[in-house]
Structures are given as C-alpha cells and as structure tokens.
Chain A
Amino acid sequence: MTTSRTLYDKVWDSHVVAHDSGAPAVLYIDLHLVHEVTSPQAFQGLRDRGIGVRRPDRTMATMDHSIPTRNQALPIIDPIAAKQVQQLRINCGEFGVPLADLGDDSQGIVHVIGPELGLTRPGITIVCGDSHTSTHGAFGALAFGIGTTEVEHVLATQCLLQDRSRTCEVRFDGLPARGVVAKDLILALIAEIGIGGGTGSVFEYTGEAIRALSMEGRMTVCNMSIEGGARAGMIAPDETTYEYLAGRPSSPSGADWDAAVSRWKQLPSDDGAQYDRTVRVDAASLEPMITWGTNPGMGVPITQPVPEPNGGSGVRKALDYMQLEPGKPLLGQPVDVVFVGSCTNSRISDLRQAANLLKGRKVSSGVRMLVVPGSEQIRAQAESEGLSEVFRMAGADWREAGCSMCIAMNGDQLDNGQYCVSTSNRNFEGRQGKGGRTFLASPLTAAATAIEGAVADPRRYL
C-alpha cells in the first residue's frame, strides 16, 4: 500500500529510532540548540549522573536571553545574570559543546543564528529549551521547544521521547496587500483560532502567500506557531529555501549539496496527503494587525475597534490591565516605547523595512525606540548598509544582539504602566517589564508608530 504523507509525517517517520507499543517513540534529534537560561540544571543533571554529552557535534550553544545589549565587551553588571552566563561557558567547556560567546561574530539569538550558520536545514529535527524553536520549521525542519528535563535527555542520548502530533494545514490563500507582511499573517491566524487553537498539533503553512514570502518572512510566521498553541510549524522547502541555504558556513557543498537538494525535494507533502484539520485564511483581505490585549490571540486589524467585554471575563481583565477603552481603534493611542527586535522580527529584512520608513524622519519626542539586531552578523550587515545610521539619525537607540525587551531579563524593559508597540511575540502581562503594556505588530507598524508617537497605520508611509 502506498500512502500519501504530509511533510510532518515524512520528517517524523525518518527520525523514529524505536517505538514500543504503549510508549512514546524514541525520536532522533539532529540538532540541539542550547542557551543560558534553560540549560544549567540539565548540565548539572549530567554531572550528577556522571555522564557526558553524547553528541557535542550536534549541539550548539549561544547566549541571548540574560545578556545586555550594550557594552557587551564589558563585564555584566547584574551578578545573577553574570553567573548564569559564566555557567554556560563552564558547561560548554567541560562538556565540549561549541559556544557562540559574547564577542564572537556568530553570537546572537538562538533562533536567528541556527539558520544563519546553515545548521537549520530541511527535513531535520531540531530542539531547544525554548518555545520559539518553532522558527526553524520555516525550512521544512521539525523543530519544537522542550523543557529542561528534556534538554538533559537530548544532551545525554541525542533522543527524545515523543508522541506523534496531529497535523493542521494552515492555508493562506491569495497575496497580501501592500503594507501587510509576515507578522500580520501570523497575528491574523492566531486572532482567528485563539492561543489554544493549535494545541496537540503541528501546523503546516501552505498557500500562495506563504510561497511568496522570503525565508525571513517564513521564519516570522513559524516563530509564532507556539502562540497559536502548536508546538511546531512547518513550511515545505522550495527554491527560496535552497537559495537561502546555499553557501552558508555549515551548509553542504559540492556533490553533498546536490545530494542534499535532491533529498529535500522529496519532503513536500504528497498530493492527496491528509491533514487532521485545515484552517484557511484569506491573505488578500488582511490589513496590518495589532494586538490590544494580554495574549497574542487578542488581535485586530489596525483600523478595527478594540472589542467590547460582552461578559467575557478574559476580555474585561485584559482591558483592565491594558487600561484601554473598548469600541475604539488603537490608532492614535499614545505609546512610550517602540521595540524592534526578538527572534520574531530582528532579521535584516525586518530592519530594512523599519529603516525605510524612518529614513529622513524622526522618532517622536517622548518616545524611546530600541532597535536590537538578532545577531552580530545582522548588526554588522545593518551597519554596512547604513541602516544603523538611519536609526541613530532618527533618534532610535541601536543596540548589540540579544533577546532584549522581548523577555526583559537583561534590564531592557518597560516601566510600570508604559505602552509599547513591539515586534516581539508575547504581550502577556508584564512580559516586557512588570506593569508594562504591549501591542504586538509588524516592523512597519512599529516604525510608523515611532514617527507619530502613537499607534499608526504604516500604509500611509508606503
């Protein structure tokens, strides 16, 4: 019997090492990415057991969450963060794991550097102690976040116990209008299905709008799969994927490249492959999206009003925290801070989009704009293209690579009560600093908002 298989099925099937009945599968992990926050207890677990890292050559560490984004060459001032960062150095040294350390030109946000180095590839399995590992699915990899106990399992065995997920096709029909970008596609999906809508599933993004996206746009979409409750999101590889990967430091070359591409061409879902569910989004009718509430599902087209509570306690609680009036669009809502960065939107194309809008304009007085590149390579590229100069001339703060104000672990944070338009992925209460209020949006919307000092529709600048 020949059966049609989805992309997910193919990657799953080719990584099952063992599968006893009544137990989860033992799944082989091709690439394990590690950062300072979710790994120390796992390395300690190895020490307690007296075992090593089984495949340091399939493991890559970097530091991104706890690190400052300026003066990275100087000692870290926060003693607790300094200890955590130092512990990662000790662990990598002791266990032989390669580390992109502060000051290395490969350092950056873990989900930015994996693709940049060519380690992220179609058809492989990737895990990291970080829920935004779903980013790497943009290449047709099966990539998902795990807890620290599982980090220890993978360090020790290069395998993970996993149950098969349900599959959900997310089809974006049509092409988005001018000013509507990857971030708007994924925010629109999550607003539609809710933050638990994908629980138990792996998304496969299909359709004309996805095919038309650059790899960076695809990463933005896959990155926020977890905000829809799906552990992973995948996109079948195509010429766009191969073009991105060709010539990357760790990409295969010569005959190995040709062999790899012919393997990758087998990955897309077969005609007639069955998904457990399909969700359709009409990409052509979308507007720029913005969130108004305290989870990523609480989003609206930017011209549309913030919803009325309607007896829903979640909406009322969110409006109360955000101190917003229902029934009115967010357009014109004053903001204190604009943040461009994070594993969602800190890549060179994101920075170019924001810089194009800001060129020759000024960040509104009273607004603090922070632009944080996703990696040192992106920082260098942006500086060579003159983007950093555009940001500086506009009055924005240009920083060094890291997670920064997406998670506010490093001192880059909102003050109590401040409003921020942010290109990051989570608007949970206090996510960007205790008492801070986040509106999630695209880099275009962020830049337009910075200019006006209030939530703004970027289409008037295009």
Chain B
Amino acid sequence: MQPVKAFRGKVVPLPINDIDTDQIIPARFLKTIEKLGLGENLFNDWRYLPDGTPNPEFVLNQPRANGASILLAGDNFGCGSSREHAPWALLGFGLRAVISTSFADIFRNNCLKNGLLPIIVDVNTHQELFDRTDADPEFAVSVDLETQSVEFLDGRTASFPIDGFSRQCLLEGGDQLSYIQQRMAAITAYERVSATPLDTLA
C-alpha cells in the first residue's frame, strides 16, 4: 500500500444516503479474480444507460468529475456486502478519499486496508461541503492525515476522527499482516493452550 499523507483534490458530490456496495460495484462484476480493472464499472448501473453509453445526468460522467479525487457522499456510505471490490473500484476510478457523516463498518475497514481514506465529518460540515460543491464545480479541499483535517481554500478547516493504528499504517504505507506475523509466538502459544479443538480436515 502506498503511504497516504496529504493531498489536495477536487470534490465530486453524490448527495444520496445509504449508498450500498451493490451500487458501488454490482455483483455481476465480482466474478473477476483480479483487483484491478474495477474502476470502469464503479457505480455501473447509475453511470451507464441501458445501451451502455454514459448517462450524462450522473455526476461522474460530467466535466466536474475530471481529475476529482474526493467523493462527497450521503450518510451511511458503503452499507451491505463485504466486497472489497467496492474500495478497489473507487480507487480504480482515481478516488483517494470519501467524505460522509458515517460509513458502514466492513466498508470502512476495507477502505483503511487499501489506502482509501474514509473521512467522517459532522452534519454541518457535510452540508457546507455540499453547498460549496453546488456553488463551484471546481471546489477542492486539502486533506491532511497527519493533522486529521480537511482544509477549504479560504482557510476553514474541519477535523476528522481516525483510530491511531489505522492512521499510522496509512501514513507509513504499513502492512497490517506483518504486524500480526510479529505476534506468531503468542499465536502459537494460544493455539497450544486455549484454542477450541476443531478440524475441517477430519
């Protein structure tokens, strides 16, 4: 995973609540055995008309989405299935962060493990961001993970929460598997003494 530190990005608004992972990447695209290539089917059924051409009404098909790296979404983003294909598709499109008032647990976990930043803001900041993107299609913000803040061009800043461990992993581009592997002695000891007997090979 590439380290995530600070970046500036254009914000593209998708003011819909409860966007589920079936909308982010419909199940029929999960037959792939790869992680790459999912970006073209991001929001597929909203983004393309039945004949396969881009739906001009959908925000990701509009000029304002060119070069955008931050998605501003409604409440409870990423509910539903555990498919990690959802953050893979968002990253594949070129997004680096999603801003919402809340994220579903599994989706949020999956984002953090892939360097896609889930930014939680309060209701007022959320509304203000939508107002700004309404007023200015080129509206951009600076995101700084070190200080856990989103900064508007005029200097207004909003802070966002993230647990210290995930933050450190993102800043360092750290691999969480190696963290677990460093506890192998404890794992072996647990297995010897405490683990419930169970054998799928029997």
Within the complex, the shortest CB–CB distance from A148 to chain B, in Å, comes to 4
B28 CB contacts on chain A under 8 angstroms:
408-409
A430 cross-chain contacts in B, Cβ below 8 A: 22-23, 26, 45
Quick check: A124 and B165 within 8 Å, CB to CB? no
Q: How would residues 86 to 129 of chain B score, 1 for a CB under 8 Å from any chain A CB and 0 otherwise?
A: 00000000000000001011100110011000000000000000
Q: In the bound complex, do residue A158 and residue B187 qualify as a contact, i.e. CB atoms below 8 Å apart?
A: yes
Q: Nearest-CB distance from B186 to chain A (Å)?
A: 5
Q: Is A439 in the interface zone, CB < 8 Å from B?
A: no
- Pair A152/B22 contact, Cβ less than 8 Å: no
In the complex, per-residue mask of A120-143: 1 if CB is within 8 Å of any chain B CB, else 0: 010110000111000000000000
A166 CB to closest chain B CB (Å) equals 11
A83 interfacial contact with B, CB 8 Å: yes
What is the minimal beta-carbon distance from A57 to any residue of chain B, in angstroms? 5
Contact with B along A1-44 (1 / 0, CB 8 A): 00000000000001001100011101010110000011011001
Could you tell me the distance in whole angstroms from the C-beta of B200 to the nearest C-beta in chain A? 4
The answer on a CB contact under 8 Å between A98 and B33 is: no
- CB of A66 within 8 A of chain B? yes
- Given A18-B186, A26-B180, A295-B20, answer yes or no on A434-B26 (Cβ-Cβ < 8 Å): yes
Q: Is the CB of A196 within 8 A of B102?
A: yes
Among candidates B22, B26, B35, B202, residue contacting A250 with C-beta atoms closer than 8 Å: B202
Measured CB to CB, the nearest residue on chain B to A84 is B31
Is B79 interfacial (CB 8 A cutoff)?
Answer: yes
Q: Are B33 and A145 in contact (CB under 8 A)?
A: no
Interface size of A by Cβ–Cβ distance < 8 Å? Answer: 77
Q: How many residues of B contact A (CB 8 A)?
A: 56
Q: Is the CB of A295 within 8 A of B18?
A: yes
Taking a contact as CB atoms under 8 Å apart, the answer to whether A14 and B79 are in contact is: no
Give B83's nearest chain A residue, CB to CB. Answer: A38
Alpha-carbon distance between A26 and B186 when the two chains are bound, in angstroms: 10
| CB proximity of B68 to chain A, nearest CB, Å | 22
User: Are A60 and B200 touching (Cβ within 8 A)?
Assistant: yes
Q: Does any Cβ of B come within 8 Å of A159's Cβ?
A: yes
Q: Which residues of B contact A435 (CB under 8 A)?
A: 45
From B76, B165, B195, A199 is in contact (CB under 8 Å) with B76
B199: chain A residues within 8 A (beta carbon) = 57-58, 250
- Given A129-B82, A229-B104, verify A14-B194 contact (CB < 8 Å): yes
A407 to B184, CA, bound (A): 38
Given contacts A28-B190, A157-B184, A431-B27, contact A314 B33 (CB under 8 A): no
How far apart are the CA atoms of A429 and B21 in the complex, in Å? 11
Chain B, residue nearest A97 (CB): B200
Is the beta-carbon distance between B200 and A250 smaller than 8 angstroms? yes
A196 touches B18 (CB 8 A): yes
Task: Check A152 against B186 for contact (C-beta < 8 Å).
Answer: no
The answer to whether A431 touches B165, judged by C-beta atoms less than 8 angstroms apart, is no
| B198 in contact (CB, < 8 A) | yes
Across the interface, do B80 and A157 meet the contact criterion of CB distance under 8 Å?
A: no
Q: Which residues of A contact B183 (CB under 8 A)?
A: 17-18, 26, 159
Whether B50 sits at the interface, judged by CB under 8 Å, is yes
B22, A429: Cβ atoms under 8 Å? yes
CB <8 Å contact, A409 and B31:
yes
With a cutoff of 8 Å between Cβ atoms, the chain A residues found around residue B32 in the complex are 80, 84
Residue A59 at the chain B interface, CB threshold 8 Å? yes
Q: Which residues of B contact A60 (CB under 8 A)?
A: 200
Contact A429 B45 (CB under 8 A): yes
A196–B76 CB distance below 8 A: yes
- B135 at the A interface (CB under 8 A): no
**Counting chain A CB atoms within 10 Å of each CB, which of B165, B184, B201 scores highest?**
B201
Q: Is the CB of A78 within 8 A of B31?
A: yes
Contact B165 A28 (CB under 8 A): no
Min CB–CB distance A218 → chain B (angstroms)? 20
Any A CB within 8 A of the CB of B147: no
User: Chain B residues near A214 (CB, 8 Å)?
Assistant: none
Chain A residues lying within 8 Å of B105, measured Cβ to Cβ, are 199-200, 229, 231
**Residue in A23, A26, A80, A229 whose CB lies within 8 Å of B79:** A229
Contact with B along A397-410 (1 / 0, CB 8 A): 00000000001110
Q: How distant is the Cα of A40 from the Cα of B16 in the complex, in angstroms?
A: 32
A408–B27 touching, CB < 8 Å: yes
Assess the A37–B30 pair: CB atoms within 8 A: yes
Q: Does B155 contact A (CB under 8 A)?
A: no
Distance of B36 from chain A, by nearest CB (Å): 10
Which B residues lie within 8 Å of A153 (CB)? 176-177, 180
| Nearest CB in chain B: distance from A12 CB, A | 13
What per-residue 1/0 map shows which CB atoms of A262-275 lie under 8 Å from chain B? 00000000000000
Type the 1/0 row for A224-238, where 1 means its CB is closer than 8 Å to any CB of B: 001001010000000
Which among B20, B79, B106 has the greatest number of chain A C-beta atoms within 10 A?
Answer: B79
Q: Could you tell me the distance in whole angstroms from the C-beta of B167 to the nearest C-beta in chain A?
A: 10
* Chain B nearest Cβ from A33, distance in angstroms: 9
- Option from B17, B82, B196 in Cβ contact (under 8 Å) with A123: B196
CB distance from B161 to the nearest CB of A (A): 12
Does A119 make an interface contact (CB < 8 A)? Answer: yes
Q: Given A37-B30, A81-B31, A157-B187, A147 and B106 touching (CB < 8 A)?
A: yes
6 contacts between A and B (CB under 8 A): A38-B30, A66-B31, A156-B180, A199-B76, A250-B199, A430-B26
Give me the interface of B with A, judged by CB distance under 8 Å: 16-18, 20, 22-23, 26-28, 30-35, 45, 50, 75-76, 79-84, 102, 104-106, 109-110, 113-114, 163-165, 176-177, 179-181, 183-184, 186-187, 190-191, 194-202
- The 4 A-B pairs of least Cβ separation, nearest first, read A40-B33, A147-B110, A147-B84, A145-B82
